[in-house]
Structure 1
């Protein structure tokens, strides 16, 4: 049964379908060495709820709304069978770059993490240089600062990094106003680096504010934090900006949701390769047919959850209980009389 007001499945049904996994990463990513996720063996197919553990319930509730919609409701028809993806390069040493890129066969775009806490601009320059040298002059190279710079730091860093012919810089600063200032200062200085907004879309009460403010050249959209494929499609349509679809270090169950979103976007909206190849950074998965890059793209479709792999990757009883309690709290927010704020 589902909540009559919302179409959300009943909590008992959700918890019955829930499995919690803890999968090691192949390299440290966003400070993470083990990725925890709740996956659902749902009526429409595998789905995933995996907000990072530090996120509060109000923010995480949107991720649960996405997981329940993807797992229990039919999705928009895909317009393409495969989605081009980029390689994702964590904040590794330059000598590690070729090994990372080898996990993304055929990819001609790379997104490189920069502004890592405890590292310097010199570290970023060396890493991006290594990526450019490995991939050649025709490849697209992007950088992602995850809000790690001030306005002055962003302008300085991106002016220096522009020598590598960047495709764009993702979320260099925290606020929409800061993004707008960085974009204006780079333009005034003749520095040809586009600005992409990620956190200013997926973590904002108003995900369209960045478009109205002229603070970005394109937006990064992620199905889970935006409440699901359909809601993300609506945001894209209203924003009127080019789009790159990305993920949050998901298992193949979550990547399938992102691929569904990318595949449902109208022609001409996608601005190059999507950040949906990150299963390659995990040391395991929940399916025998992982959604991994092949010839630079991934297939659109639902992976089948594998009981043996789920058992092998099962989280501890304590962590499983933690996730079940989190799902319970977020489900309560979604089925409350006015859940709009939780889904924002």
Structure 2
């Protein structure tokens, strides 16, 4: 199972919508996909599961929620190790470990465990590897080929544990100043997390704990929410799009050279259009936008947009799978 986190410490770039649609496209292509909602805001779960069902999965704190919080709750309470994950099957081939607003309470526990792992504290390693081990259990139970992590837009301890649990990460970017600044913060932070985890792994004495490798390998970036005219970004965005290859190569890859545009940059996985007119229809139908039919209200110009949306996500999914193979081969794994 390949584990991919979609991560940007700048919010509002359409990350959760991207995860949802790429997952549905891969399922159409025969992949079994597991979704891990590791964002305490639980936006992916809200997109995937009805409110009525979420109310059943989120009981009060005295009970045992069937969510990611339920899995780590024994560690949080100091009463044991991770609990068996509940796997919510959404469609054949697509499942979800449901997110939970209560997950935010795990932040302090993870923060406290990070320095304690340097002292060879076994409990600290159990805490820091909780997301990794829950994901492995869920992936094995579901028979997943690929797992997507949806995480929040910050550089906190929850995201550190989530990124360390992943094999790869993809960075969705909006063509604006804030995404550029986010990239500048992201690269050094990921480097610190990677080296910090390697140091801790060398000190681990509890060989019975399944720990993640924490290599944090980038797959590339996706330009999101770019207004499109004749399939090219409008002029208001062009200057930011032009700067993305250089900033990504410098800040994330540590590479001083970069292509001059996204078209020639192998690390640019795609430029995705707005599909604002389709989102309300998709939400009402509880479908991916490219799965809409006339019976869902996608008629006239909407059907043309549905077809373009399908082509865009099919192309993006192909690039992601290709890049996984390329990065894996280059790493010699």
Aligning the two structures, in what range does the TM-score lie when normalised by the shorter sequence?
0.3 to 0.5
Higher helix share: 2
TM-score w.r.t. structure 1 length? 0.35
TM-score w.r.t. structure 2 length? 0.36
